[in-house]
Structure 1
Amino acid sequence: MTSLTPEQTIHPDRPVRLLDTTLRDGEQAPGVSLSPDEKVDLARGLERAGVAVIEAGSACTGAGERRAISRVTDLDLDARVTSFCRGMQTDIDLALECSVDGVHIVVPSSDRHVEGKVGTSREDNLATTAELVEYATDHGLWVEVIGEDGSRADLDYLESVAETSLEAGADRFCFADTVGHTGPERTTEAVSRLADLGPVSAHTHDDLGLGVANALAAVSAGADLVHCTVNGLGERAGNVALEEVAIALSHVYDVETLELDELYDLAQRAARATGVELAPNKAVIGENAFTHESGIHTDGTLKDDKMYEPYAPETVGRERRLALGKHTGRAGVAAALEEHDVEAGDKEVAEIATRVTELGDRGRRVTDADLLAIAEDVTGDDRERVVELCDLTATSGGSVPTASIRLEVDGEDRVASGTGSGPVDAAVSAIRDALGSNATAELESYHVDAVTGGTDAVVTVEVTMVRNDRSVTVARSEADITRASVEAMVDALDRLLAVDQQPLTPADD
């Protein structure tokens, strides 16, 4: 047995599992609506990550939701698939139609909810809870009872709700900080008392920024199942983030809950499906989590990758990135040049670093293309372009957006056209057709970073493209978003293809 250090309150041998409710509570975030295909895709990602329980939705929502839940149950996952149910027998019946493994029955636990929301008494609430649990277990379901608003409940009564649930046959009781109201001390007190009665879960929200702290407090007090959502999606400020709980338990307490290297892919999938972009400073999965610009930090990281990082980025499926800007020092510039196979002497590196700083001082984000252009000027190493945009025409007024493009590729004109969901998508299709399969590259990120106001508005598009494990970031500003997008992509492709140092074959027929 591993002994606890003085600051630890969670033993490394504690079995803790995670329940993901992205498909239910996460979907309740304003503006988020997941299609059945998106729910299936996310469920598969959660399965790969090793999530123990997947709450697939609320069967009572409607026929479309039930079809989506059934799609998830049809996957025959190792994870337990469940449905959220209100304190109504009909909700349990609808969940049974979806062939779920279990249900989460939410019942009021605070007087505000018992009397004000449901309009019942404490005694009648206990009786109803027992009846619902017995009905669900009689139908072979795994049952968790959620004491809604438990963090604001009278703890003696919360114990009564939990005891009634467990005696009626529930598999576990969940302490719910429904409105993100409480702190770790109250959570510890409540969960400690509940854990004496039987298995306990914790459901925390992040309204006070205490979601992770409360989840860890609950585990320390005896909870062995934590409700989470990918990227912290959810109502108001969101639920506690799956990736944050998983890495905190692993890194601080040596408690393993998930396949951590699946976290970033899962985060990206959830962001695409929900349309909720990841904040760059988001813990674990934000763009800046493993990005270094400061000269001191970059130099230290290059000497020792643990110098300014709590854990290796590969742990959560990430890669380290050295950003360029006003704070970049010579060490960072030298490392970035080496990454792009650019040779430069010490004096040239110093001059390049000075120019990068000057560019950053003007408020510009310095992209890979900016760095390489500066390096070419300083070293005098002019290169011939592999791909250059000569002409672009795009239309979106009709039913099908179209684009035609003329590129100069290795000195040869190539013309192609394409269709897509929008003019940018159509132009990308045309570029692919013009270059052929030998010039493939993946668009890793696409951001519209800034739009000026007025009738002469200028949009800045930044793209990152990847080819053969090499990436290039390029930004372009134009009055037309399609042209800015295409110019950025073509410039990125030009940089990536130049590395191959071989002529491109003609476009595919």
Structure 2
Amino acid sequence: MNIKILDTTLRDGEQTPGVSLTSLEKLRIANKLDEIGVEYIEAGSAITSEGERESIKQITSQNFNAEILSFSRPLTVDIDYCLDCDVDGVNLVVPTSELHIHEKLNITNEKLIDLSNNAVDYCKDHGLIVELSAEDASRSDTDFLKTVYLNAINHGADRICVCDTVGILTPDSSYELYSQLNDLPVPIACHCHNDFGLAVANTLAALKGGASEIHTTINGIGERAGNTSFEECVVSIDRLLPQFSTNVKINEIYDISKLVARSTGVYIQPNKAIVGENAFAHESGIHSDGVIKNSATYEPITPELVGRKRKFILGKHMGTHGLDNKLKELGLNVDEIQLKQICDDIKDLADKGKKITDVDLQVIADNVLEINHEDRIKLDEVTVVSGNKIMPTASVKITIDDDEILNAGVGLGPVDASINALNDLELFKDVNLIEYHVDSITGGTDAFIDVIIKLQQGDKVVSARATESDIIKASVKAYVAGVNRLLRD
């Protein structure tokens, strides 16, 4: 069975706290939704504001393949605004639980049915497609729910939708509810919320119960804990439910995920399924080795399926197979002894709480392989004297081209004094420290310090870094490393 998708990123998704999309952002997202094969796009809620209506009009003017809908209450004023936006249809939302009918609307069940029927009549009289969504359907009496649906269908509703408004269904109860409704003569849609983290599971169970349409948002954004995740549902249907299919271009899922994240400012948790940055990342040596030999060992799908790339993460859990693969990506070939040394150096840094980056890997590999150079300057020792009444004074012992040199300097602080002791030497002339950045990479008074500097000499600019428990030693090591790089360049 082919499953249709109504994406409500632009309406329910935009109700995420703190999110407000511009007309241009909405148009870009709608364009991408249409491009990747979504059948129905809920472009917004026309009653909301003039700006919202202008956004919807921009989308309806594009002649997309997708059906464009607006959210609407069962009120003539809402429907008129929808008509003014030239939408194809409405997502007509009608509360059906006792709580919503009596406490929120303060009307009777009979009045609710009349309200629903009259709204459907008005929509159909004006040429609109109607999908009638029962709000809080999962907490509604099933017999009454069915009565509302049958009345709406008799008045011309084209589709119906069961809304789990506060996300209280479980996969079992979802399947049971849809099984009780699957004899209705129009397509049934599923609209789930993720309050208990079950939106995707409940949606998949609804399909097995008889639903033929699902409501989703990109990245699962939405009020409270969000809505059913588009990407998780689509890929699950494609790979786990062979009896169902969608028209979505799966290889473009990551692109639209990133587009929505950038537009909304709601960024994706690293371990989120399918689109999270860690979804296809491997650090464990056992996992990396297995994936290199056959990706199916530790990946249920290939990253390329959804427009992603696999990553091997540098850290203390890594093994030599993943490291060797990473080095080859950087164009570095090593023998077994060099590979083990690089691996040990990385693990040593990681044990100190350092997050290992590609820059760190290149520096470590450079040191182990001694690629195309031998450093002219080697730091042997740094000694600093400082106090309340003593100007900070540093003595630095270095080796330049096999000659040991001891020099001293003073400065405003111990780091400044140490750098000044070096700057008196000929090789350090005309070197300018243009950036100096310090990070504490572990906690406590014994924290490891990561120093990153940028040096300039003439028109040459280089960066260097060093990590030590002593900020003075780290600063001097980074400075010496930078000058060595300038000399090589």
TM-score range, shorter chain: 0.7 to 0.9
What runs of 5+ residues in structure 2 fail to find an aligned partner?
375-429, 431-438, 453-463, 468-484
The answer for the alignment partner of 2:249 in structure 1 is 259
Retained in 1: the 8 A contact 2:353–2:442?
A: no
The answer for the alignment partner of 1:166 in structure 2 is 153
Give SS of 2:47's match: helix
Amino acid at match of 1:139: H
Retained in 2: the 8 A contact 1:57–1:83?
A: yes
Retained in 1: the 8 A contact 2:353–2:441?
A: no
**Pick from 67, 89, 95: which aligns with 1:102?**
89
Q: CA deviation at 1:86?
A: 1.2
1:236 aligns with 2:224: yes
1:227 aligns with 2:212: no
Q: Distance in 2 between matches of 1:177 and 1:374?
A: 53
The answer for the alignment partner of 1:328 in structure 2 is 318
Q: CA deviation at 1:240?
A: 0.6
**Pick from 104, 113, 133: which aligns with 1:126?**
113
**Pick from 174, 187, 190: which aligns with 1:202?**
190
The answer for the alignment partner of 1:177 in structure 2 is 164
1:139 aligns with 2:126: yes
Q: Mark the structure with the bigger radius of gyration.
A: 2
Q: CA deviation at 1:356?
A: 1.0
Deviations 1:422-445 (A, max 9, x none): xxxxxxxxxxxxxxxxxxxxxxxx
1:74 aligns with 2:61: yes
Amino acid at match of 2:281: T
Q: Distance in 2 between matches of 1:363 and 1:346?
A: 26
Amino acid at match of 1:292: H
1:217 aligns with 2:232: no
Give SS of 1:105's match: strand
Deviations 1:332-368 (A, max 9, x none): 1111111111121111001111111111111111111
Return closer, same or farther for 1:449/1:112 CA change in 2, 3 Å cut-off: farther
What runs of 5+ residues in structure 1 fail to find an aligned partner?
1-13, 385-412, 414-447, 462-473, 478-494, 496-502, 504-509
1:42 aligns with 2:29: yes
The answer for the alignment partner of 2:18 in structure 1 is 31
Q: Distance in 2 between matches of 1:78 and 1:47?
A: 7
The answer for the alignment partner of 2:358 in structure 1 is 368
Give SS of 1:47's match: helix
Q: CA deviation at 1:130?
A: 0.6
Amino acid at match of 2:286: I
The answer for the alignment partner of 1:250 in structure 2 is 238
Q: CA deviation at 1:193?
A: 2.0
**Pick from 62, 86, 89: which aligns with 2:49?**
62
Retained in 2: the 8 A contact 1:452–1:459?
A: no
Return closer, same or farther for 1:124/1:23 CA change in 2, 3 Å cut-off: same
Q: Distance in 2 between matches of 1:284 and 1:326?
A: 25
Give SS of 1:347's match: helix
1:380 aligns with 2:370: yes
Q: Distance in 1 between matches of 2:440 and 2:90?
A: 43
Q: Distance in 2 between matches of 1:475 and 1:318?
A: 31
TM-score (norm 1): 0.73
Give SS of 2:296's match: coil
**Pick from 4, 11, 20: which aligns with 2:7?**
20
Return closer, same or farther for 1:450/1:60 CA change in 2, 3 Å cut-off: farther
Q: Equivalences for 1:432-443 in 2 at 5 Å?
A: none
Q: CA deviation at 1:256?
A: 2.8
Q: Distance in 1 between matches of 2:63 and 2:57?
A: 10
1:292 aligns with 2:279: no
Return closer, same or farther for 1:459/1:203 CA change in 2, 3 Å cut-off: farther
Q: Distance in 2 between matches of 1:203 and 1:324?
A: 41
The answer for the alignment partner of 2:480 in structure 1 is none
Return closer, same or farther for 1:56/1:459 CA change in 2, 3 Å cut-off: farther
The answer for the alignment partner of 1:351 in structure 2 is 341
Return closer, same or farther for 1:358/1:62 CA change in 2, 3 Å cut-off: same
Q: Distance in 1 between matches of 2:372 and 2:40?
A: 57
Amino acid at match of 2:174: T
Q: Distance in 1 between matches of 2:82 and 2:451?
A: 48
Q: CA deviation at 1:449?
A: 12
Q: Please report the RMSD computed on the Cα atoms of aligned residues, expressed in angstroms.
A: 2.8
Retained in 1: the 8 A contact 2:187–2:212?
A: yes
TM-score (norm 2): 0.76
Return closer, same or farther for 1:319/1:476 CA change in 2, 3 Å cut-off: farther
Give SS of 1:306's match: helix
Q: CA deviation at 1:133?
A: 0.4
Deviations 1:182-221 (A, max 9, x none): 2122222221222211321000011111101110111111
Amino acid at match of 2:294: D
Amino acid at match of 1:236: R
**Pick from 100, 103, 120: which aligns with 1:116?**
103
Q: CA deviation at 1:53?
A: 0.4
1:156 aligns with 2:143: yes
Deviations 1:136-195 (A, max 9, x none): 011111100110000000111111111111111000110000011121222222212222
Deviations 1:434-459 (A, max 9, x none): xxxxxxxxxxxxxx999999xxxx99
Return closer, same or farther for 1:460/1:308 CA change in 2, 3 Å cut-off: farther
Comparing 183-192 with 307-316, greater Cα deviation is found at 183-192
Percent identical among aligned pairs is: 44
Deviations 1:298-334 (A, max 9, x none): 0000011111000110110101111110111111111
Retained in 1: the 8 A contact 2:352–2:442?
A: no
**Pick from 341, 360, 366: which aligns with 2:331?**
341
Retained in 1: the 8 A contact 2:354–2:442?
A: no
Give SS of 1:318's match: coil
Retained in 1: the 8 A contact 2:46–2:72?
A: yes
Q: Distance in 2 between matches of 1:296 and 1:37?
A: 46
Q: Distance in 1 between matches of 2:200 and 2:165?
A: 14
Give SS of 2:19's match: coil
Return closer, same or farther for 1:77/1:449 CA change in 2, 3 Å cut-off: farther
- Count of paired positions: 393
Q: Distance in 2 between matches of 1:366 and 1:152?
A: 50
Q: Distance in 2 between matches of 1:100 and 1:460?
A: 58
Q: CA deviation at 1:383?
A: 6.0
Return closer, same or farther for 1:137/1:475 CA change in 2, 3 Å cut-off: farther
Deviating beyond 6 angstroms after TM superposition, the runs of 4 or more aligned structure 1 residues are 448-453, 458-461, 474-477
Q: CA deviation at 1:476?
A: 10
Retained in 2: the 8 A contact 1:328–1:356?
A: no
The answer for the alignment partner of 1:388 in structure 2 is none
Q: Equivalences for 1:401-480 in 2 at 5 Å?
A: none
Q: Distance in 1 between matches of 2:147 and 2:440?
A: 54
